[in-house]
Amino acid sequence: MASVKFNQVTKSYGKQEVIQSTSFEIQDKEFVVLVGPSGCGKSTMLRMIAGLEEITTGTIEIGDTVVNKLPPKDRDIAIVFQNYALYPHMTAYENMAFGLKIRGMSKSVIEEKVMKAAKILDIEDLLDRKPKAMSGGQRQRIAIGRAIVRNPKVFLFDEPLSNLDAKLRGQMRLEISLLHKKLQATMVYVTHDQVEAMTLGDRIIVLNKGVIQQIDTPQNLYNHPTNQFVAGFIGSPTMNFMKGKIYQEDEIEVFISEDQSFRLSLNTVYGLNPYQNVILGIRPEHIFSSQTLLKNPLQFQAEVRWVELLGHEGFAFFDLGGQQLSARLRADELKDPPFSKKLYIEGERLHIFDADTGLNLM
């Protein structure tokens, strides 16, 4: 197993720079998730590790070796593709054995390795089948099996669960997580699904427009996003944002409209200048219908226009200061809209971002 290190890596297609100067290190045996919206450069980054894309400047190291000039086959990596990339004319066994056969291994060694991988993934009964005779989940297992037979230093996953239905995705997520624990391998996983990122990654790299926004643990990304983009991207449903202005430094009141304001306790606010334009952020799950248990409740009256029920809980949608917000509430707290309801924001969980730079000011 090995670490992966990016040193001031950039990637350009002609004049367009898709990855701006990037440096980070993925530790040995770490599970790192690259996450971001479509076109942010996350797959490009993964493909650069694999050697399927050349890098424009900088260096990439796998273990202690700079791999810039090494072809994919010499990087000792394995990749699992979104569309599985299983060869349709080969059986599952032949698909898994292909790389070993190409490398000139003997039949007995190949069989031993394939059977071992098949046992880990519980796919022994699928080995005689061709991909077309398998379900999406089974194909994905074979694709993972093909990756693990070679025992590579680094596993790369390029949105491997995107083609699966929601139930299977949840199941496979768990299996990949368990596989990581079992193999103790370095894994780099690309996804646009922040739920996958939060549940799988030891650390997450959040990307936007070819720039790394934050590298951190899932919990830190959720609790302490460095900017408005990360705050909006991590968490489902997305964080509520409201425009506002710091009114007076000593009173620390944030106005989101002429008739709505919140008072913030001094100990949670740092370096805010009076009259500074800000964006307030609060997650739907941090808006409550009762102030009991809240450390710093900020009360307001919500005119609920729409409700989405999900069984045990639901979302209430309402306008506040001309902006649409949502709150995650218990199902029994919701009724047919429209209705008026007193709600409380937990002031301790409020995020304040600079309106111009988007940086978290807290």
Site residues (vs other proteins, CB under 8 A)? 50-52, 71-73, 77-79, 81-83, 85, 87-90, 98-99, 102-103, 146, 150
Residue (of 207, 214, 352) closest to 279 by Cα position: 352
- Which phi and psi angles does 337 have, rounded to 5°? -75, 160
Least Å distance, CB 100 to other proteins, is: 9
Choice between 127 and 343, CB closer to other proteins: 127
Choice between 51 and 281, CB closer to other proteins: 51
Choice between 133 and 359, CB closer to other proteins: 133
Residue holding tokens 């669960």?
A: 161
Choice between 77 and 302, CB closer to other proteins: 77
Q: Tell me the CB-side half-sphere exposure of residue 173, using CA atoms within 13 A.
A: 21
Least Å distance, CB 309 to other proteins, is: 41
Q: d(Cα 214, Cα 123) in Å, to the nearest integer? A: 38
Least Å distance, CB 52 to other proteins, is: 5
Least Å distance, CB 101 to other proteins, is: 9
Give the Å distances, CA to CA, from 77 to 5, 147, 307: 14, 8, 48
Least Å distance, CB 120 to other proteins, is: 19
Q: d(Cα 83, Cα 91) in Å, to the nearest integer? A: 17
Least Å distance, CB 22 to other proteins, is: 22
Choice between 75 and 286, CB closer to other proteins: 75
Choice between 83 and 299, CB closer to other proteins: 83
Least Å distance, CB 83 to other proteins, is: 6
Choice between 107 and 263, CB closer to other proteins: 107
Choice between 75 and 192, CB closer to other proteins: 75
AA identity, residue 180? H
Choice between 46 and 252, CB closer to other proteins: 46
Least Å distance, CB 72 to other proteins, is: 5
Choice between 100 and 230, CB closer to other proteins: 100
Per residue, the 3-state secondary structure of the chain, as one string, reads CCCEEEEEEEEEECCEEEEEEEEEEECCCCEEEEECCCCCCHHHHHHHHHCCCCCCEEEEEECCEECCCCCHHHCCEEEECCCCCCCCCCCHHHHHHHHHHHCCCCHHHHHHHHHHHHHHHCCHHHCCCCHHHCCHHHHHHHHHHHHHCCCCCEEEEECCCCCCCHHHHHHHHHHHHHHHHHHCCEEEEEECCHHHHHHHCCEEEEEECCEEEEEECHHHHHHCCCEHHHHHHCCCCCCEEEEEEECCCCCCEEEEECCEEEECCHHHCCCCCCCCEEEEEECHHHEECCCCCCCCEEEEEEEEEEEEECCCEEEEEEEECCEEEEEEEEHHHCCCCCEEEEEEEEHHHCEEEECCCCEECC
Least Å distance, CB 193 to other proteins, is: 20
Least Å distance, CB 77 to other proteins, is: 7
